[in-house]
Amino acid sequence: MHISASFESGSIEVVEATDPGNVRLRIPTESASDYRMWFYFRVSGVRATELRLVFENAGECSYPSGWEGGYRVCASYDREDWFRVPTAYDGTTMTVSHQPERDFVYYAYFAPYASERQHDFVGRCLASPLARHEVLGTSLDGNDIELMTIGDSGAAKRACWLIARHHPGETQGSFWLEGVCERLLDGSDPIARRLLERAVFHIVPNINPDGSRRGNHRTNAAGKNLNRAWAEPTMEKTPEVFVVRERMEALGVDFLIDAHAVEWHPYTFIISGDRVPSLTDHLLQLRTRFDEALAQASPDHATEYGYPRDGDRPLQPTLCSSWVADHFACLALTLEMPFKDHAPHPDPRTGWSPGRSHRLGLASLEALNAVVDDLR
């Protein structure tokens, strides 16, 4: 038996791995920070072997409630088809019990999304004459901060921004973006056609490439949470936010979805800056309309669950959606998806999955279509 995490996004600490029935593991901290949550590794030489993997420090992770309520670890033999395996959490340790059917198996917190897949995805989009690409700058590790634009700009067009991977372990956002772009570029889709007549889409496929490559869950190479850096980004610590914000200033913003995932909630839901100074009744009505239209388009989306709203939550001006909503006086939303299975519509094999994230992306354009005419 051999355990390895020597690949992109790989992360695990092996304490003891001599007995397949009692493998002891620890989830490492991230780059220059105390966050710990993400794991992704491969176990080799274990065909038909009863594995028992014990994560000794699960209770010390940043969001231990993420392991409660039926969370199950993701597994795959080919890194394409991800399924869930039996997992138990006792408040201190998390234990996986699994008998692999092949010589090696990958385990992860959620299905990873590699940079090569992103490059292939962007390349497919750019095959369309509607899509364009630019590099806004580079990260601390020298990775490109990319912007893809779909549609033609014009004074009458609404500028719609879509961002994924502020938190690199929240790969659901990347799978969601694939669904959005696939539908936008489908010339036979009437919703996409109508939206492109009214809007131009500026898409940041991965705002945190360093954290994604390093196997971080929450932070960039400097240990900074990019979704807490929007008020005062710097080129020294948070260049990813700095260059995206700069491009927003140049192109304008009428609408934003920042795609995320939440560790402890088994639902999809949206949040917005309820208490930003520029919030108006019109924007509140638009948010409600978008929320209800998304629930209509996808039964996976919930309007009745999520974080507390309005006066129950403090203003967080450093969040992307809060800063954008206030600065541009526009509808700016954070979309949350689960790591756990989806409570209203569970899937015993996959739980919440890349495929369901993708399909929510397809449905999200229906919700945007319901409000696009009133974004200005």
Catalytic residues: 336
What DSSP character marks residue 354? H
| 370 neighbors 290 (Cβ within 8 angstroms) | yes
d(CA 341, CA 13): 26
- Binning the chain into helix, strand and coil, the percentages to the nearest 5 are 30, 25, 45
List helix spans (H) across the chain.
115-125, 172-184, 190-198, 209-214, 239-251, 281-297, 320-328, 354-371
| Total Cβ atoms within 10 A of residue 102 | 11
Q: How far apart are CA 120 and CA 105, in angstroms?
A: 24
Distance of CA 214 to the CA centre of its chain: 16
Instruction: Please name which of 39, 77, 106, 43 lies closest in space to residue 339, comparing C-alpha atoms.
Output: 39
Spacing of C-alpha 72 from chain mean position: 18
Provide the Cα torsion 300, 125, 111, 78; round to 10°. 130
Type of residue numbered 306: G
